[in-house]
Structure 1
Amino acid sequence: MAEAEEAAGVAEAEGLQERLKAYEGRVAVASGVGKDPVNAPMIRHWCEAMGDTNPAYRGPDAVAPPTMLQAWTMGGLSGHTGRPGRTGRSEAYDELLALLDGAGYTSVVATDCEQEYLRPLKPGHVVTFDAVIESVSERKTTKLGTGHFVTTRMDVRADGELAGTHRFRILKYAPAAKRTPVKRPRPVINRDNAGFWEGVAAHRLLIQRCAACARPRFPWLPGCNACGSQEWHAVEASGSGTVFSYVVMHHPPFPAFDPPYAVGLVELAEGVRMVSNVVGVPHDKVRIGMPVRLEFLRVDEELELPVFRAAAEGGEF
């Protein structure tokens, strides 16, 4: 009996995989048109949020930051649906997601994206785009659970000429049964940011200061984005700042995190901004301009992270 049930399960999985594979190459988005032409105000907002002061993104000959490629295709809260010539995702893509939902893979998480830049986008360019379902993986087992990776490839055009490609990958999965507490994902430490994490281990928040133009910067980079110099010094930040912007995370639920919680873009007294959790007040009490103070939060026996504690409403730190 057990062998028969196992054989039936294998056959069912193979049948599902065959149906999933049939969606590869099908249209995910057809003849999409950006809601707005490439424009200077959106470029400015992006650069202010990212703290990017590169002069190439300002003035009469400005170009858009390459990493904004997907931003010009996004439908925002109202989406693209119902606007003639401005389509959203296709029926085929919705059918694929419904098929995965019906097979029990009801949770979703974005895993990664890849972008290739072929020409600069400039104010006035009209952005159009098409996307295909590039691949649906075989069933994979991850720490989150078992499921399938779905990859779409979007071709982005400026005034009809290919400007870049954007590959976006999600995991549709059935959550694994919780057996033991799941640790937070580990930060990626490399030669460019190792000094920052060494500072965190010593309860010091280190930023960089360019040795040539004295401009502070964060996150850590190998060169100055203002003057290009590769010479710099590590400087300890005071730890005081204000909430420049924030979001409240509700979905998707993710092991080791307990939504809802506030993630802030904090402007430090030194003039740089960093992303971290805002703690000390309920998530719905976080406000732009709220003063915050650095502290270090131990999340497990191996990992401490810098977070920012807000004063309770009307209170002190």
Structure 2
Amino acid sequence: MTGAEGGTNAAAVTEDDAFHERLTALAERQIEAGEIRGMAATDPVNLPMIRHWTDAIGDANPLYTDPEAAADGVHGEIVAPPAMIQVWTMPGVNRGGKQVSTPVDDVLRTLDENGYTGVVATNCEQTYHRYLRLGERTVPATRFTGLSGPKRTALGEGYFVTWDVTWYSGDEPVARMLFRVLKFRPREREEDPPKAAPYPLRPAVNRDTEFFWEGVAKGELRIQKCADCGELRHPPGPVCPSCRSAGRTHVVATGEGEVYSYVVHHHPPVPGRETPFVVAVVELPEGVRLVGNVLECEPSEVGIGMPVRVTYRQMDDELILPMWVPREA
């Protein structure tokens, strides 16, 4: 490598290589079983916090907050919503008290110190083994599981960092979460984004949503339907919110609807998209609402009640996304 015009600075490359080796060594650090345990939750599972959370989320399930309904329910007592699992062990704003450093903390701190200060969450997958009950106190165990990079992205050069958290009550694991972030060096404004990259914003496909994306690939807009009470719901889920049945099927929507609400996105930049663009909530005659981009018209032409129809756009070699266009287009 030379320092000639258009060449690469050898010293900079050497410095980058040394940083990458140091980062890889941190990621590969072996940890003992007892070392991965973090601090126990400050407070046990409690009803006031459950009330705050369900109110904020809009979850009216009485099994979480009503003692009488819970006593007659399948659990026989109040239980905490499984999706609350992170709440019980989140550190405070000031991160007070003794903190347990994990390999994840070491890697993230090293990336920050070397200019990779941007962060965006890319994956979050949770598995619940059982419900938590009032009075239980959880303890998190964090384990570093993956480091990938450096990679060029529309946001800038970065590393994908992955870790697992398992929550225990006593010695029993009650929930697990895979979490992945992209830590990146913010791209300079004058720098051109990478060319011909795969579309970076990919939907999460799992057992609850795979039927929807299989339909998209076939040009069908599929809506989940309860196999027992017949209620349609979107986004898809494992359990009917009306009758609590786990039986599922689907219907194919007409593909037409009206703009129920929308925003025009100007900033920050979004990988793979040119701003400004419209993100709309579209209400279907079937009674559900879907989120998607509105294309083939100026953002100023979009309005509440605008008739639209679905269209399918090939984003890269593998990904097709449903979007919306004016019905007369």
Alignment of 1:234 onto 2:266: no
Q: Residue 132 of structure 1 corresponds to which residue in structure 2?
A: 142
1:148 maps to what in 2? 159
Match of 1:121 among 113, 118, 132: 132
Q: Give the aligned residue type for 2:230.
A: A
Equivalent pair of 1:64/1:120 in contact (CA under 8 Å): yes
- Tell me if structure 1 keeps the 8 A contact 2:140–2:166: yes
Q: Compute the displacement of 1:143 (Å).
A: 4.8
TM-score by length of 1: 0.61
- 2:39 partner SS: strand
Partner of 2:177: 166
Task: Show the counterpart of 2:74.
Answer: none
Report the CA distance shift for 1:257/1:97 in structure 2 as closer, same or farther (over 3 A).
same
Note if 1:178 corresponds to 2:193.
yes
Count matched residues: 289
Residue in structure 2 matching 1:81, options 71, 93, 96: 93
TM-score (norm 2): 0.60
Match of 1:314 in 2: none
Cα deviation code 1:75-119 (max 9, x no counterpart): 7xxxx134766x888698666434213334333232323333232
Residue 305 (structure 1) aligned with residue 311 (structure 2): no
Task: Kindly state the Cα deviation for residue 216 of structure 1 after the two structures are TM-superposed.
Answer: 1.4
Give 2:21's match in structure 1, choosing from 3, 11, 14. 14
Q: Counterpart amino acid of 1:8?
A: T
Matching of residue 69 in structure 1 with residue 85 in structure 2: yes
Identity %: 27
Cα root mean square deviation, aligned: 5.1
Q: Contact 1:29–1:132 at 8 Å: present in 2 too?
A: yes
1:55–1:301 distance in 2 versus 1, CA, 3 Å: same
Distance 1:163 1:308, change over 3 A: farther
CA, structure 1 residues 273+66, in 2 after alignment: closer, same or farther (shift >3 Å)? farther
Structure 2, unaligned stretches of length 5 or more? Answer: 3-7, 71-77
Structure with more relative contact order (C-alpha pairs < 8 Å, separation 6 or more)? 1
- Pairwise CA distance, 1:215: 1.1
Between the aligned partners of 2:144 and 2:110, the Cα distance in structure 1 is: 17
Judging changes above 3 Å, is the alpha-carbon distance between structure 1 residues 222 and 95 closer, same or farther for their aligned structure 2 residues? closer
Q: Deviations over 1:55-79 (max 9, x none)?
A: 866852254443342355557xxxx
**1:45/1:232 Cα in 2 relative to 1: closer, same or farther (>3 Å)?**
same
Contact 1:207 1:236 in 2 (8 A): no
C-alpha distance in 2 between matches for 1:63 and 1:74 = 19
Offset, 1:296: 4.1
Tell me the CA shift for residue 239 of structure 1: 1.0
Displacement of 1:294: 3.6
d(CA) in 2 for partners of 1:132 and 1:188?
23
